[in-house]
Structure 1
């Protein structure tokens, strides 16, 4: 298994491109789910509609967290087992992960349907936005099981050595979503309901492709028994997937507190409570385009690092990681330039002509200040996923929590006390810089250990 697997023999540069490029494309297309909805909703419903999608965003993050918990966790456990030559038990990590994704999706769907209004208010929804958020959530929550299995299942498919199929899974859903968005929102004038319906239909079709692929798994045969949950397999999957999962939940917590802070400090500023919530939601989702590249690289690194670490090919693990860091740095510097030079032009894409000059002033300042250190934001996601890939989830968890929980969250609460709503903007670059510094220290310490030092 080790000798014949290309993960052990093909050059790290070629492998990283082979796995990362489809992953990047898949992540970019996946981010279109949110970007496309923002575009069509902004052009038809207006700013209140876009503010509603920002309010609902924590629920989407919850789904992504579950998908990463069992997707990356299952993929890492599967590849580590293959690298160790344990093909028989490896298949159970795939089956158990898929089953847990469906269970989590159903639980989230029922919770969202039952506690919808109090949840949306807790997320920081102003009264003027609430009715739009309810319409959007009531429909999109139906798709939570499909969203989790399609997003998380893509990681399992990639672990099987099929990164292009993962790309197809994501592209199919996003393309269908885009076409139906145009039809439902602009053609049928269904507004928020149309955008939500298009999203769910795209997720259902992506999920169907994942299920079909599971029936034709390449590396091993997935019989019905591997889908029966076993505590032993679930425990390992959860331990390896905890870092990216915690990172998403940290993002959700920060998003909720951010919305509440924007609402409170916004109403005490010239911007009001709606402009900051709308702008920050848009900018967050636009910045996801950048993170699609970085996360795609980290996902492409995962099977290479996991397999070779399990096979004790430490030199290949180190070289693959350093290549990923190099590519991430180039993309981050380019993104920094784009966000500093063209913030107003980017925001204007989502405006139907009704936005005020205050709206553009706030969004431009937020783009330039909050994302000032995006040029070093590649370190934390790639390194956190690297630790998970080599079977050291505790270190991955620590790194995943540095920016969101240890730095950004306290700064969002403290700085506005002194600087008002501008304090929220300043929290971003400070958190990014300190998180990158902490990450650099941890990764240097790791690469100086004996197994890497001698290679």
Structure 2
């Protein structure tokens, strides 16, 4: 672990951020591209309603797998600080507890998803003609979710070890596999949504197996040791407190999807859900660099917080926000210039081509400032401060966006849904900046 300590504790912050953020960005970018290609294929080869079906199903799969992500992020925060404090035994114990928790909880939730699939799909907006297509897709995807949960647990841990390239590979492999299988199953075998779901499920299995291979190999400094599977109350509580932030965030996103799909279906019908499906895919892909900066921030900040190097922590915060804001500005400019061309990739449906560009532009208006939100909540996770991390994480999706997406359409129709996004971004950024500034002034005083 000495090499890791030397790097995260002494190397130039900007170099560390680039080293951590670039692989994370590439990984997220490829995974997002995978979802985009999935949407393009079903939109072109199955139909417009297939886009709506994927928009309904994926938040359910991600809600279940977010349990793994929460355990991964919560545990990696503990591991980063333990490594910074040179406490490797705690890091190993935490890792073993993470594996045990992920497998138990993922299997339970997948069983529930199988038994109650139709009510769950209805809840998430599978109404009218969308339901049978969504059911066909969900029936396949659900079997790959435990693998995805394990992968989402392991990926932050790999970054906490200081191995961002392997975390990147773990995200690239299933994305490429899914694209190939989509072509084979949908185009050549003509399996429709069943083929799309099967391709996605197999790709989830591949990422889970790759993560398992990494931890079993000599490449990982953290080893899978059965005795560490025995749950330690203190460790589990800390994982749940910190990881609960990510689970609650995904839960808030899932509630948001319920509200969005309700408002979109009520005021615009199935076509509006398809419009949002396209915007959501573009958002995931285009915001990958900003998300990469946030992911790269976590191990650097967490290690230096554990090592009590406050000056380096403050520099990490400032440079992460600076880099992310520049990227966000470029992303918004690209959306302004190429929004019509982007939408043409997904569909040739005239209604979608006419209505999606303006909606997309509105949704992306606040993109230049969103890094402040992400780094604010990420800092408190890295510092092991669960409550402020939770509150800041919930600001956009939970506290602001859910009520706005429900109330504004009552007065402005579907347009109100689109405007709820930038308004929520602006409000949550203001609150995050105030809270983060207070934390820096109070607890990151230079030695």
TM-score bracket for this pair, using the shorter chain length: over 0.9
Note if 1:47 corresponds to 2:59: no
d(CA) in 1 for partners of 2:186 and 2:17?
39
Whole-angstrom distance in 2 between the partners of 1:57 and 1:139: 12
1:28 touches 1:293 (CA, 8 Å); kept in 2? yes
* Alignment pair present for 1:312 and 2:308: yes
CA–CA distance in 2 between the matches of 1:377 and 1:60?
Answer: 25
Worse overlay, 161-170 or 216-225: 216-225
1:384 aligns with 2:385: no
Which string of whole-angstrom CA distances, capped at 9 and with x for unpartnered residues, describes residues 232-286 of structure 1? Answer: 21111111222222222111110111001111111xxxxxx11100010111121
Q: Would you say the 8 A contact 1:294–1:382 is kept in 2?
A: no
* Paired position in structure 2 for 1:270: none
- 1:341-376 CA deviation, whole Å, 9 max, x = no partner? 32221111111x3x12x3223211210112211221
- State whether residues 30 and 174 of structure 1, in contact with CA within 8 Å, keep that contact through their aligned partners in structure 2: yes
Closer/same/farther in 2, CA of residues 105 and 32 from structure 1, 3 Å limit = farther
How big is the shift at 1:225? 0.9
Q: Which residue of the other structure, out of 318, 342, 354, is the alignment partner of 2:338?
A: 342
Tell me the residue number matched to 1:24: 25
| Cross-structure match for 2:400 | 407
3-state SS in 1 of match to 2:231: coil
Residue 292 of structure 1, CA deviation: 2.0
Distance 2:234 2:32 in 1: 34
Report the alpha carbon displacement of residue 402 of structure 1 after superposing the two structures with TM. Answer: 0.7
CA deviation profile, 1:424-452 (whole Å, cap 9, x unmatched): 12211111111111111111111112x52
Question: For 1:256, which of 236, 255, 258 is the aligned residue?
Answer: 258
Q: How far apart in 2 are the matches of 1:278 and 1:211?
A: 36
| Counterparts of 2:26 and 2:104, CA distance in 1 | 28
Superposed, which structure 2 residues align to 1:115-130 within 5 Å? 115-130=116-131
Distance 2:343 2:68 in 1: 30
Q: Which residue of 1 aligns with 2:39?
A: 38
User: Any stretches of 5+ residues in structure 1 without a counterpart?
Assistant: 267-272
When normalised by structure 2's length, the TM-score is 0.96
Aligned residue among 256, 264, 267 for 1:265: 267
Distance in 1 between residues matched to 2:245 and 2:287, nearest whole Å: 17
| Superposed CA offset, 1:186-234 (max 9, x none) | 1111111111111111111111111122223643443111123332211
Choose which of 359, 364, 372 in structure 1 pairs with 2:352. 359
| Structure 1 match to 2:417 | 424
TM-score (ref. length: structure 1): 0.94
Conserved 8 A contact 1:243-1:385: no
RMSD, aligned CA: 1.6
Greater displacement, 324-333 / 239-248: 239-248
Q: Which aligned pairs between 1:76-87 and structure 2 lie closer than 5 A?
A: 76-87=77-88
Q: Cα deviation per residue 1:144-189 (whole Å; 9 max; x = unaligned)?
A: 1001111221111111121111111111111111111111111111
Report matched runs for 1:202-241 at 5 Å: 202-216=203-217, 218-241=220-243
Whole-angstrom distance in 2 between the partners of 1:182 and 1:175 = 11
Write the distance in 2 (CA, Å) between the matches of 1:130 and 1:31: 24
Is the contact made by 2:34 and 2:176 (CA closer than 8 Å) also made in structure 1?
A: no
The equivalent of 1:175 in structure 2 is 176
Distance 2:288 2:72 in 1: 16
* Count of residue correspondences: 445
| Structure-2 change in CA distance of 1:413 and 1:89 (3 Å) | same
User: CA contact under 8 A between 1:23 and 1:300: conserved in structure 2?
Assistant: yes
| Shift of residue 64, structure 1, vs aligned partner | 4.4
Please state how far the C-alpha of 1:31 moved relative to its aligned partner: 1.6
How many angstroms apart in 2 are the aligned matches of 1:187 and 1:96?
44
Structure 2 counterpart of 1:8: 9
Contact 2:84–2:307 (Cα < 8 Å) also in 1 = yes
The Cα offsets for residues 287-309 of structure 1, whole Å up to 9 and x where unpaired, read as: 01133222221111111111111
Q: Which runs of 4+ in 1 moved over 4 A?
A: 1-4
Q: Distance in 2 between matches of 1:279 and 1:237?
A: 37
How far 1:26 moved relative to its partner?
1.1
Cα offset, 1:2, TM superposition: 7.0
- The one of 245, 268, 289 aligned to 1:293: 289
- Matching of residues 433-444 of structure 1 within 5 Å: 433-444=426-437
Q: After alignment, is 422-431 or 211-220 more displaced?
A: 211-220
Task: Name the residue aligned to 2:249.
Answer: 247
Distance, in Å, in 1 between the alignment partners of 2:445 and 2:306 is: 17
What secondary structure does 1:342 align onto? Answer: helix
CA distance in 2, matches of 1:57, 1:362: 23
